[in-house]
Amino acid sequence: MEHVDKKTNVMTTFVRFLNKKILQNPTNMIKYIGWFFNLMLQLIHFTQEREILYMKMKREDVRNIAIIAHVDHGKTTLVDELLKQSGVFRANQEVEERVMDSNDIERERGITILSKNTAVYYKDTKINIIDTPGHADFGGEVERVLKMVNGVILVVDAFEGAMPQTKFVLRKALDLNLPVIVCINKIDRPEARPDEVIDEVLELFMDLDASDDQLDCPFIYASAKSGIAVLDLTDEEKDMKPLFETILEYIPAPEGDPDASTQVLISTIDYNEYVGRIGVGKVDNGSIKVGMDAIVVNEHNPDRQEKVRINKLYEFDGLNKIDVKEASIGSIVAISGIADISIGDTICSPEEPKAIPFQKISEPTIAIQFIVNDSPFAGQEGKYVTSRHLRDRLFRELNTDVSLRVEESDSTDSFKVSGRGELHLSVLIENMRREGYEFAVSKAEVLYKKDEHGKLLEPMEAAYIDVPDEFTGTVIDKLSQRKGELQGMGTTGGGYTRLEFKIPSRGLIGYRGEFLTDTKGNGIMNTAFDGYAPYKGDIQYRKQGSLIAFETGESVTYGLYSAQERGVLFIGPGEKVYSGMVIGENAKTDDIEVNVCKTKHLTNTRSSSADEALRLTTPKVLSLEEALDFIDTDELLEVTPENLRIRKKILDPKMRKRGNK
């Protein structure tokens, strides 16, 4: 309102100036008549502006922020410290690291998969905090939650600097004109280079066409692990108070009209098996109360007009949801009791149902077939094995994961599941496996599009690779074979080279394991979706063939000893195998059948204990991701709670050879 008052004062001064000029010389009236009309138009505009501003109210006791960053730059650890230092936990309470990562897979892998809501209090101000994923496969989570906040904290590693996902999440924040606080984290690392990283971040801001106001953002230096933040590297390191103060000072309070009709935009969906779907969103206008009637509308679905009643309303407090009877503008709330509530829905008053604009969810780029397991060992290890079990579980996943697509096929035993990347789908597979499901999955395939001329388009990825200097040539050669185009190359210091590639998404399928082998585990690869481009031609996924079990039985040392000369084994002695099961990788390009169940015949001069003298190499036990990377287009991965088995789609060797002709 100060802004409007200043403009009004300018107008008043201008009117006095005109009166003076006209009184001095009446002939000046014609000269200044255009000025007068222009003045009147501006006064009308300013009056309207003032009315709008008077209608809107700032809620100074609330701040809504999101923590955004590249994967593993310390977002979740930073939220941990904000929770601890705000007094959420008791002094003697035992608190786990990364307390916001509630999912077992999140904890094991050290990544955030789903965005999480929490709230802390500082100086009587409630700060709603949303912890977002950093991996590109879960970028859809970031896109949505930014609609709930009034500013972001961009966390950047003091050594790694600006990375691909840093650019992605920052672009989303700048597009929404959100104020940004830059937090240079991990300043306690021995190799930290905070000053250089600040220059990189400012360069990134300029690359993304940030405004002058956005460029004038505050910088905070922090070590989330140590629980300290400072405004200057020379300041005394005590606690996170400088960050709290910067949030209150720089992040604007939420605005809205408390007397207007209710508008709550649903940005996240949670799920509870007892209450069903829970919609999480911010109250933009009006207020929402328990027991009130409302209408659910959606900008992208104009036909949707569903009458509902608000039965349960929650706000976030620390790690808990607390029941509330009413919530006003700026509050982030969770609403249960609306069965089919979806992301992008707006809950409105019945008198004035008006949807809030919301960006569409990014489309999936990778698909995998989920198939009922029909191997000889089917149903022996899993609790849920039928097509009905599989179908119900996949469609239930859609309750919380809006980036996922599930399609039924002509066969009742197969479902096409599409997601944002291999990691996105592998997390789903691992979750189902742990829940007791048994099924088979195919090799990942990309989802193509066609342009207006019918030309085939395929999804592309921007790959940023940090690799030791001695392996640079190998990586460039391998990615070039997979239709990758080198876009840039430079040194990062410490004997590492940074490569930037533009490569088809299918070119990265099955490459990560090979990449780690080629770089002896020292390479780092990050990717981000980079739109669609014309089809680049065929790619050979795997140069090595498979070692296939010849018969059903139990593997023995003697048979394995003969087979290991052919390549790398995936199994050891005493494991159950069946005909058509892949038990290793052939050193050559062809598939070979081997009999790993073969035992040595006893004679007068041979004893059964002679096997003890045979030495087997340690088998290569594949993880879920490695197995998904390894399988070829004619193979399946059998997933059970206890085992991962690779098999040929056609188990019978005669039928398989006939099909390959």
Sort strands 485-493 and 439-441 into parallel, antiparallel or unpaired: unpaired
Count CB-CB contacts under 10 A for residue 360. Answer: 9
Range of weakest confidence among 36-45, 70-79, 114-123, 193-202: 36-45
What distance in Å separates the CA atoms of residue 61 and residue 50, rounded to the nearest whole number? 23
Helix axes 2-24, 28-55, angle to 10 degrees: 160
Distance linking the first and last C-alpha atoms of the chain: 78
What distance in Å separates the CA atoms of residue 175 and residue 359, rounded to the nearest whole number? 12
pLDDT per residue as tens digits for the range 15-38: 555 565 555 555 555 555 555 555
Residue written as token pair 């503008």: 329
pLDDT band at 632 (very low <50, low <70, confident <90, very high): confident
Angle at 111 between CA 108 and CA 112, to 5 degrees: 120
CA torsion through residues 553, 555, 560, 562, sign? negative
**554: which strand partners?**
576
What distance in Å separates the CA atoms of residue 645 and residue 578, rounded to the nearest whole number? 10
Query: Across residues 342-353, what is the average pLDDT?
Result: 85
Q: Look up the pTM and report it.
A: 0.70
Q: Which of 410, 478, 431 is nearest to 639 (CA)?
A: 431
**pLDDT score recorded for residue 419:** 86
Q: Are 261 and 348 in contact (CB under 8 A)?
A: yes
**pLDDT score recorded for residue 276:** 77
Tell me the pLDDT of the chain averaged across its residues.
Answer: 80
Count CB-CB contacts under 10 A for residue 167. Answer: 17
Higher model confidence: residue 398 or residue 499? 499
> Which DSSP category does 5 fall into?
H
Higher model confidence: residue 372 or residue 270? 372
Q: Are 558 and 599 in contact (CB under 8 A)?
A: yes
Share of the chain above pLDDT 90, in %: 15
CA dihedral 568, 573, 578, 584 (to 10 degrees): 0
pLDDT per residue as tens digits for the range 301-337: 777 888 888 888 888 887 778 888 988 888 888 888 8
What distance in Å separates the CA atoms of residue 293 and residue 290, rounded to the nearest whole number? 9
Residue 166: what residue type?
T
Count CB-CB contacts under 10 A for residue 457. Answer: 14
pLDDT per residue as tens digits for the range 427-449: 889 889 989 999 999 998 888 88
Burial 487-508 (b: 16+ CB within 10 A, else e): eeeeeeeeebbbbebbbbbbbb
Query: Across residues 487-491, what is the average pLDDT?
Result: 86
Alpha-carbon Rg for the chain, nearest whole angstrom, is 30
pLDDT band at 114 (very low <50, low <70, confident <90, very high): very low
Tell me how far CA of residue 207 lies from CA of 151, 174, 222, in angstroms. 20, 12, 25
**pLDDT score recorded for residue 88:** 55
**pLDDT score recorded for residue 386:** 93
pLDDT per residue as tens digits for the range 524-568: 777 777 888 999 888 877 778 899 998 899 998 888 888 888 889
pLDDT at 391 over 90: yes
**pLDDT score recorded for residue 371:** 94
Q: Which of 583, 585, 575, 590 is nearest to 549 (CA)?
A: 583
- Half-sphere exposure for 112 (CA within 13 Å, toward CB): 31
DSSP codes joined into one string, 23-76 = HH-TTHHHHHHHHHHHHHHHHHHHHHHHHHHHH-EE-TTEEEEEEEESTTSSHH
**pLDDT score recorded for residue 302:** 79
Write out the two tokens for 659.
Answer: 């099909």
